[in-house]
Structure 1
Amino acid sequence: MASSPSARPRRDAPARTRASLSSAPSRPTSLRLWLRRRRGLLRPAGLGLLGAGALAAAALAVMAADPYGRLAALWDGAAEIAASGGLQVQDVQVEGMYHTAPDLVREALGVRRGDPILGFDPHWAREQLEQIAWVGHAHVERLLPGTIRVRLEERQPFAIWQRDGKFSVIDREGRVVATENVGAFGRLPLIVGLGADRAAAPMVDALRGAAEVQERVHALVRVSERRWNLRLRNGTDVLLPEGQEVAAINRLAELQAKQGLMDRPLVAIDLRLPDKLVLRLPPSPPGPQPAETQKSRSGRG
């Protein structure tokens, strides 16, 4: 039985549909579109990557041949080239410099106006600055095109330390920060003796809590690196017990308030025993000597 012509198109319809779909042009993906739009930028970027790779390979070769000298020379050469392009030191800003000598800061930085700024090493400069006695911490920044910024955190003067007849200014931890012009710090507490520099902070704090004692103290004297004496302005020595200095100072303040003890002409006030007070009086002045009776003797006759 012959098939009806009208049925063929229906059977051939899926084939035509597949043919039309396969012959339709493919739609570009988003990646292809992105690459087409940036085609002009890809070639310079590739050249830049090739150049960076060549520089890295050259640097590695230089380091392999001489890891210090030639690499430093290469960097110095680059710094000189940058300096010729305007990257030079034009300004050095220093903050927090109160006691530190400016000459020491300039010497530690090791840089002058007009030097290549890329040749300046902030880390090395910080290490050099922190070797100065007054400087506790230093922060150094290199700000292109031509500024170097330095911020110093100085140690604070805490006391004047006397040892072997020499005077120096120390900070709270006992570090010596100055040995010259010590007279400018005359208002600081005076501590005396071996080991006094490291042990003075608690004693100074204790005296600050007892104003009536502090105002009469001339010096804190370290004895055998174990305990303290207070040398009063009138010359009296106050002997304090080892490890019980704060309690003894409070006791001395009470005795002063009640009896005016520190204003008396005494050689020493011994507070080393908690339940006993020992006062050492000055020696009595010698009394008048009785006149000797002159006896006349008869001469030879």
Structure 2
Amino acid sequence: MLPVRAAQPRRDPAPSRLRYRLTRLWLRPAFRRLVNLGVPLAAVLLASWTLLAQFDLQARAVALYEKARDAIVEQPQFTITAIEVPDVSADLAEQIKIAAFVNLPASSLEVSVAAVRSRIESLDAVERARVQIRSNGVLEIRAIERMPVVVWRSEKGIQLLDQNGIRVAEVDSRLRRPDLPLIAGDGADGHVPEALLLLDDAHPVLGRVRGLVRVGERRWDLVLDRGQTIRLPETGASEALRRVMALEAGEELLERDLVTVDMRDPRRPMLRLTEHAVSELERLRRMDMGEDA
């Protein structure tokens, strides 16, 4: 009698989970294109890079590119041979040429117009600038120059300011611009329009005006020759000064022996006399008292 064989376990025909996922992935067209094209391309790039590195072909390619670039850049039609700065003062034109930082001859392909304009507009004396490269090889720079209207004396030195109080230039002496009015004191640069208005109100005595002094960063003193000062209030300074000018026109107030006209309280103007005037007034009072006695 033959021995009975043990039953063999049946093999499961279903694929494993990993094989199933790989099969599903391979069925995607995008994945097949990536494998069929990407892998060979990566292999070609890797082999090419290795070959370039081995024979130093990369450096040769860079050198060839630089040579071709230089050949284009150095073409005469791209060469800047001059810089023109029309319609500004000679001193500012020289400053602008230095600030442009363009070494001639230069290639227009290597000059950044925006960068040149930015450097020029950083100058104190330039409000705005326009830069263009003309076809005749000229770099034209047109600048709007800030015009100084006052001289400002402060602890920082002596500076020229425009009508908005923006610094135009620094000078070593007030005598550099005797044609401009003088303002002084901390914070005076922030009130240039008001100072110009006050100087306009003081037109009847403008020839005697020595300057405006900002006091405590709050108000102005108008300083005249002969040591006279008109103290103006914090608010309504223009109206107070016009009252003084009216008194000057009608009574010749500022022709008298006065040191100070104090208008800080417009309701109670105060006058301070010179020492000579005070002494003379006391002498007259004593004479009157003697006569009365």
Selected match of 2:153 from 137, 157, 162: 162
SS of match in other structure, 2:233: coil
Q: In 2 relative to 1, CA 82–258 (structure 1 residues): closer, same or farther, beyond 3 Å?
A: same
Which residue number in structure 1 is paired with residue 123 of structure 2? 132
Aligned length: 215
Selected match of 2:138 from 147, 150, 154: 147
Q: Distance in 2 between matches of 1:133 and 1:266?
A: 41
Q: Distance in 1 between matches of 2:94 and 2:124?
A: 13
Query: 1:92: Cα distance to partner?
Result: 1.8
Which residue number in structure 1 is paired with residue 61 of structure 2? none
Selected match of 1:87 from 73, 78, 81: 78
SS of match in other structure, 2:139: strand
Q: In 2 relative to 1, CA 209–138 (structure 1 residues): closer, same or farther, beyond 3 Å?
A: same
Whether 1:227 and 2:219 are equivalent positions in the alignment is yes
Which residue number in structure 2 is paired with residue 271 of structure 1? 263
Which residue number in structure 2 is paired with residue 110 of structure 1? 101
Query: 1:282: Cα distance to partner?
Result: 1.8
Whether 1:78 and 2:78 are equivalent positions in the alignment is no
Which residue number in structure 1 is paired with residue 177 of structure 2? 185
Which residue number in structure 2 is paired with residue 31 of structure 1? none
**Alpha-carbon deviations, 1:165-190, whole Å to 9, x = none?**
83111112222221135533211110
Contact conserved, 1:141 with 1:148, CA < 8 A, in 2?
yes
Q: Distance in 2 between matches of 1:210 and 1:164?
A: 26
Q: Distance in 2 between matches of 1:267 and 1:128?
A: 50
Q: In 2 relative to 1, CA 245–259 (structure 1 residues): closer, same or farther, beyond 3 Å?
A: same
Q: In 2 relative to 1, CA 194–152 (structure 1 residues): closer, same or farther, beyond 3 Å?
A: same
SS of match in other structure, 1:118: coil
Selected match of 2:113 from 95, 107, 122: 122
Contact conserved, 2:231 with 2:263, CA < 8 A, in 1?
yes
Q: Distance in 2 between matches of 1:96 and 1:215?
A: 32
Deviates more, 1:121-130 or 1:176-185: 176-185
Letter in 2 for 1:257: A
Contact conserved, 1:139 with 1:152, CA < 8 A, in 2?
yes
**Alpha-carbon deviations, 1:215-263, whole Å to 9, x = none?**
3221101110111111111211111111111101110110001111112
Selected match of 2:205 from 208, 213, 230: 213
SS of match in other structure, 2:114: helix
Q: Distance in 1 between matches of 2:252 and 2:85?
A: 52
Query: 1:79: Cα distance to partner?
Result: 6.0
Q: In 2 relative to 1, CA 221–256 (structure 1 residues): closer, same or farther, beyond 3 Å?
A: same
Query: 1:117: Cα distance to partner?
Result: 2.0
Q: In 2 relative to 1, CA 101–154 (structure 1 residues): closer, same or farther, beyond 3 Å?
A: closer
- For the aligned residue pairs, the C-alpha RMSD in angstroms reads 2.6
Q: In 2 relative to 1, CA 258–146 (structure 1 residues): closer, same or farther, beyond 3 Å?
A: same
Q: In 2 relative to 1, CA 160–80 (structure 1 residues): closer, same or farther, beyond 3 Å?
A: farther
Q: TM-score, normalised by structure 2?
A: 0.66
Whether 1:200 and 2:192 are equivalent positions in the alignment is yes
Letter in 2 for 1:244: G
Structure 1 spans left out of the alignment, 5+ residues? 1-73, 288-301
Contact conserved, 1:192 with 1:220, CA < 8 A, in 2?
yes
Which of the two has greater helix per residue?
Answer: 2
Which residue number in structure 1 is paired with residue 164 of structure 2? 173
Q: Distance in 2 between matches of 1:247 and 1:75?
A: 72
Selected match of 2:234 from 233, 236, 242: 242
